[in-house]
Structures are given as C-alpha cells and as structure tokens.
Amino acid sequence: MRILYRISNNSYNKAKLKNATKEHCFRNFLDNFLTTKDKLYIIADNVNDELRDYLKRLTPNNGHLFEVNTGSNGASFRLQLSLISQIPPDEVVFLHEDDYLYRQHPNDSADTKYNNTVLLEGLDKADYATLYDHPDKYLPPELGGNPLVSNKGIEHSGVFLSKHSHWKYTNSTTLTFAAKSSTLLADRAIWLKYVSGEHPDDFHAFLELGKHGRLLASAIPGLSSNTEPPWLSPLYDWDKL
C-alpha cells in the first residue's frame, strides 16, 4: 500500500477533540495503521518548525517527508492526485488527512495491523473504501444529516461481510479513503471537477462517481474517526485514545 498523508498547520479552524493534535493523530496513525510493508509519503504542507521537527523524528524507514506550501486544502488534495501517476496501477493508494484517529488492537505487530488489513478487505467488493463510519448517514437531513438519507435517518444501502468486518455501501465520505491507483487515474477527471477550488467538494464528487458505477464501502462500526466532536464514528470513545 502507498499512503499519501498530508498534514498542515494551515487547517480549517474547527473544534476538535482535545487529544486530536496534529502530532497525536500522526503518532496514532503510525502505531495503529502503518506496517513495514507500506510506503509512506508525508506531504508536510505549510508546517511550522515544531511540527516539522516532530515529523522528521517520527518518519519511519519506509517513510519519506516532503515539504510543500500549496496554499489550500483543495490544492494539497490536487497534489495528492498528481502523484498517482507515479504509482503502479494495481497498487492500493490511501489518501489521508491529518485529523483522524484509529482504534487500537492488542495483537498488532510491525508487519501486521488490524486496521490496515480490514481496509484492504473492503476493496475486494468496492472501488473505494474507508474505515470511517460517518454519523451524518444516521441523521435526518433536517437535523444536519446526509441529504440522501430518509427523514428517519436511514441510509438505504447494501451490507457485506469480509473476514474481519461488516461493511456497508455508502454514498459519500471525506477525503481520507483508499482505492487502487488505476481507479483513481480513471476517475481523475471527476475528482478534478470537484476539487478545483480552495475547498474540495468531496460529497458531490462521490455522488458523481456513484452515478458512474463506482462503489464506496464504509466499515461498520467505524475503526477510525474524524476528530470533530459532532462527526465522530458512533459507538466508540475516541477521546480516550
């Protein structure tokens, strides 16, 4: 797996969990997702000296740190997309943001991480996969939920089982997801259509991908979470990590 992890001090000014610092989220990712079999590319976008030094200290042997200054969330995502052409078509690519936490698993080792294994399983029956179970799929639209769920907060979907997890097909997720390099290259024009500005429109990008037959799978319950308090994956105490 190739992981393109973008991290910045110039993020949106949104409330996060108290434990969700840039440093802690990165360390949590290293401890609970990255294996020695992966190749990690850290895109340090407009980071300050303190964060830069932290990243340099923690960059593993299979990691590479690149310092850039793209100027916006949209531009940094477009940079991720531009790197896809350098990755073999059958390789899984994990595009990653800097504000996610992962559940811990006691039997993990340097070579095998449960979260990593599960994410790869999701791609057996989907074009895109995420470990984040977005709670907007369980809220009626009038209460801030996903516009395509029912007024009872129900997303009409399909459920499947992999070796280690249940999954559901869902209509959208954030910009932290995995797919094969060939899939991302084939879908590049759609992605660029919705990320041309400063603020990517991931929701409508995934809706259009769905209209073209692409399937997005989300692990249920979530094994990772965005760290904005209103949008935590359900049924887990993420602030205790």
C-alpha distances in Å from residue 84, one per residue of 137, 175, 195: 29, 15, 16
The whole-angstrom separation of Cα 37 and Cα 58 is: 17
Mean pLDDT of 56-80: 95
pLDDT at position 201 is 96
b/e code 147-171 from CB counts within 10 Å (16+ = b)? ebbeeebebeeeeeebeebebbbbb
Provide the greatest CA pair distance for the chain: 49
pLDDT at position 25 is 98
Nearest to 81 by CA among 170, 173, 202, 213: 202
Scanning 19-155, the segments in alpha helix (DSSP H) are: 22-32, 49-58, 73-83, 114-122
What's the pLDDT band for 14 if we cut at 50, 70, 90?
Answer: confident
C-alpha distances in Å from residue 83, one per residue of 2, 95, 143, 167, 229: 11, 11, 38, 29, 32
The whole-angstrom separation of Cα 112 and Cα 115 is: 9
Phi, psi of 201 (to 5 degrees): -105, 75
pLDDT at position 10 is 79
The whole-angstrom separation of Cα 135 and Cα 229 is: 11
- The per-residue pLDDT for range 85-142, each reduced to its tens digit, is 999 999 999 999 999 999 999 999 999 999 999 999 999 999 999 999 999 999 999 9
The whole-angstrom separation of Cα 238 and Cα 222 is: 11
Are 70 and 45 contacting, i.e. CB atoms less than 8 angstroms apart?
yes
- The per-residue pLDDT for range 133-144, each reduced to its tens digit, is 999 999 999 999
CATH number for domain 2-240, candidates 3.90.550.10, 3.40.630.30, 3.10.20.30, 3.40.50.2000: 3.90.550.10
Report CA 194 to chain centroid distance, whole Å: 17
Residues near 194 by beta carbon (within 8 Å), at least 6 away in sequence: 200, 201, 202, 204, 205, 208
The whole-angstrom separation of Cα 164 and Cα 177 is: 18
What's the pLDDT band for 34 if we cut at 50, 70, 90?
Answer: very high
Is pLDDT at 197 greater than 90 in this prediction?
no
The pTM score is 0.96
β-bridge mates for residue 40, sequence order: 3, 63
Mean pLDDT of 171-192: 98
Q: How many CB atoms lie within 10 A of CB 201?
A: 15
